[in-house]
Amino acid sequence: MDMFFAYLLIASATPLFLWLDNKKVALSSIPPIMLMWGFFFFYMTNRLSPTGHSLMVVLFILNVIIAHIAAFFIYGLPLIRKHSRQ
């Protein structure tokens, strides 16, 4: 759970870093982040059902995928464009 919380804090800042580079990816990451915070609240208050626990894991995986897409847009795409011009 500590790793989930650490990732949740990092993921919460992702839209801020992406806003100037790609607004669509930044906006698409906001709803899963809000849902993850909600699931985290229910987990910490021991009110999360087994189905809710599964949904929390799915949202975590979805957010990891969005973060990797964001990293590609920030770091990978400019590098590819730089090498394709040369």
- Cβ neighbours of 12 (radius 10 Å): 16
Q: Which amino acid is at 55?
A: L
Conformational region of residue 46, where left means phi above 0, alpha means psi within -120 to 50, and beta covers everything else: left
Going from N- to C-terminal start, the domains of the chain cover 2-85
pLDDT for 7 beyond 70: yes
Task: Give CA–CA dist 54/37, Å, rounded.
Answer: 15
Judge whether 53 and 60 are in contact, CB under 8 Å. no
pLDDT tens digits for 11-35? 888 888 878 877 887 898 888 888 8
The whole-number pLDDT of residue 1 equals 66
pTM value is 0.67
pLDDT tens digits for 31-76? 888 888 888 888 888 888 888 888 888 878 887 887 788 788 888 8
Half-sphere exposure of 12 (CA within 13 A, CB side): 12
